[in-house]
Amino acid sequence: MTRPVVIETIAALRDALAGREVALVPTMGALHEGHLELVAEATRQAETVVVSIFVNPLQFGQSEDLTRYPRDLESDLDALAPHGVAYVFAPSAEEMYPDGATATRVTGGSVAGMFEGRSRPGHFDGVLTVVAKLLGIVRPAVAVFGQKDAQQLFLVQRMVADLNIATRIVAVETVRADDGLALSSRNRFLNGEERHAAKALSRALEAASSAGDRGIDAVLAASQSVLMDEDLVKLDYLKVVDPATFLPVDDNFRGPARVLIAAQVGSTRLIDNDAIYLN
């Protein structure tokens, strides 16, 4: 097994990728099986795969602890070794933002201020700005994102379409543990009791799906009843949105929809989502 070549500068990465068709997997590191599913899809999409590992300071709010985000580049490289990744782009903050936080930002409009954006003001402006920078640096034919971060995925897809960026965005379904919990780098912060309680998020989504034939009120009631049974789960939001617009649906909506959940479990904030069909 060969570890990917680590490149830390934009100039060196552009030199290495010149003339290659590339698939990019943007990450913040702390890689788990969910990330490796993204990598597997990337290897099917292009001959050369680049994984970026960069903890982006622009997407952390004042109340969020940037220093707490897990970082372990050596473990990440070991995890990637069997998976055919050619390069890991691991720049410093100074390399990405040599003059400090950029004056130019990509903004996501009203949707970026909802749900995660309401709980984490400015978060998606930071995400879209760094994704735009990465797409400009790597110039990939394809970039692969996970469906678990559904709002992020929607906003990235819309940014690429709105700005005519010549990269195709490929989505990979949420990867779950055997007990249903969506894989996340933040799961490592859960203790045993919290880990057990966190399963309520995926159970709530299953309840929502089962209630889809009875309308939006039944979907929300079924989900909330599951979450209310777990004292350690403090709900932030539970919403049903139209996948085409990412706006909340009304009582008359019929068709494919997506349920979004965010909750605090102990000191750890978790998100999850799933597709449902409203009759």
User: Any idea which residues carry the catalytic annotation?
Assistant: 35
**Dist CA 115 CA 23 (whole Å):** 29
**CB 266, CB 190: distance < 8 Å:** yes
**Greatest Cα pair distance in the chain:** 56
- Which residue carries 């490289």 as its tokens? 77
Q: How much of the chain is helix, strand and coil, in % rounded to 5?
A: 40, 25, 35
How crowded is residue 38: how many other Cβ atoms within 10 Å of its Cβ? 24
The torsion region of residue 275 among left (phi > 0), alpha (psi -120 to 50) and beta comes to beta
* Beta-sheet pairing, 233-241 with 48-53: unpaired
134, 127 Cβ separation under 8 angstroms: no
**Buried/exposed code over 199-230 (b: 16+ C-beta within 10 A; e: otherwise):** bbbbbbbebbbebbeebbebbbebbeebbeeb
Do the beta carbons of residue 25 and residue 40 sit within 8 Å? no
Three-state secondary structure call for residue 56: coil
- What angle do helix axes 216-227 and 192-210 make, rounded to 10 degrees? 160
